[in-house]
Amino acid sequence: MRVDPQFIFNTVSALDNTTANEQTITNEISTGVSVNQPGDNPTAFSQNVSLSSQISADDTFTQTASSTEGMLQVADSTLGSVVSQLTEAISVATQGSNGTLNSSNLKAIATQLTGIRDEVVSLANTSYLGNYLFSGSQGSTAPFTIDTSTSPASVTYNGDDVTSSVVTPNGQSIQTNVPGDQIFTATGANVIGTLNALIADFSSGTVSSTATSDLTSLNTALNYVSQQRTTIDNSITALTAASTDTSSEEEQLKSAQDTLIQTNTATAATELSAAETQQSALTSLITAIDGQGTLFAQI
């Protein structure tokens, strides 16, 4: 009796394939993942790559939004302090303009306003994580410097007018800064310049003729700072909402990804049992054939 060599080859090949399939199914059950390479399921693999890309983009935005929101909250708090300082300055300047104070008192008013001006400049130069908040795109440069060698003192803005923004996964652009010259030295609402003018109005011990108009200008500047603060508040609100929506979307994408590539344990267990049965049968067949001599023996 002669055993067909091709039959033996096919049988051994089938055993190899069955063993490999058994190992694949065992790995799917142990890892819980059924799609690891294109050959496992080309369509599912492609969809998984797309989902992974979206999840990565959402995760990146969420992290960016978190740090950016922190920065905006510091900026908002800073402008809140500026508003408080300007409100105090208006109260002090109003007291100095009422015509009841003597020279010493008026000079004390100038000293108080100087302290407020210095605090406002310090707030305008606030930094967050090593970057100045109000320098536009020049984060490493302190935005404002004061020259007190003249009366009134002069202020210089060292930043630029560049506004920054982040784009959400759905394409919404959210402004993330307001350049300092738009807040503290804007034309018609020059916060620091007006404080310098008011200091000069009282520093001589007499009330300057420009004190009243400068006080009016400071009220205008205060309202303007409040408007700029609203811009930042709106950005915080938009960023918080976008971050919440993105986090929710990321969870949904992860769930879809799990459904797409996770192993169906029951189905895999059935397939594993079938593979083990087939492997046992093929092994027995080869043993029976080889028991007559060798796999390639002629019987």
Q: What is the pLDDT of residue 14?
A: 64
How many domains in the chain? 1
CA atoms within 13 Å, Cβ hemisphere of 107: 5
Quote the pTM value: 0.73
Q: What is the pLDDT of residue 254?
A: 82
CB atoms within 10 A of CB 53: 11
Q: What is the pLDDT of residue 67?
A: 92
Please indicate, yes or no, if residue 234 is contained in any of the structural domains: yes
Average pLDDT, the chain: 85
Q: Which range of residues forms the domain containing residue 99?
A: 71-247
Report the CATH number that the domain containing residue 186 is assigned in CATH: 1.20.1330.10
Please indicate, yes or no, if residue 66 is contained in any of the structural domains: no
Please say if the pLDDT value at position 192 is more than 50.
yes
Please indicate, yes or no, if residue 97 is contained in any of the structural domains: yes
Please say if the pLDDT value at position 133 is more than 90.
yes
Which residues touch 11 (CB under 8 Å, ≥6 apart)?
282, 285, 286, 289
Q: What is the pLDDT of residue 50?
A: 87
Could you read off the pLDDT of 14-41 as tens digits, one per residue? 666 656 555 566 665 555 555 556 556 6
Please indicate, yes or no, if residue 289 is contained in any of the structural domains: no
**DSSP string spanning 174-217?**
EE----GGGTTSBTTB-HHHHHHHHHHHHHTSS--TTHHHHHHH
Please indicate, yes or no, if residue 293 is contained in any of the structural domains: no
CB atoms within 10 A of CB 200: 19
Identify which has the larger pLDDT, 248 or 135.
Answer: 135
Please indicate, yes or no, if residue 221 is contained in any of the structural domains: yes
Which residues touch 235 (CB under 8 Å, ≥6 apart)?
72, 174, 175, 176
Please indicate, yes or no, if residue 254 is contained in any of the structural domains: no
Please indicate, yes or no, if residue 272 is contained in any of the structural domains: no
Burial of 181 (0-12, 13-18, 19+ CB in 10 A): buried
Identify which has the larger pLDDT, 19 or 65.
Answer: 65
Could you read off the pLDDT of 69-106 as tens digits, one per residue? 999 999 999 999 999 999 999 999 999 998 899 999 99
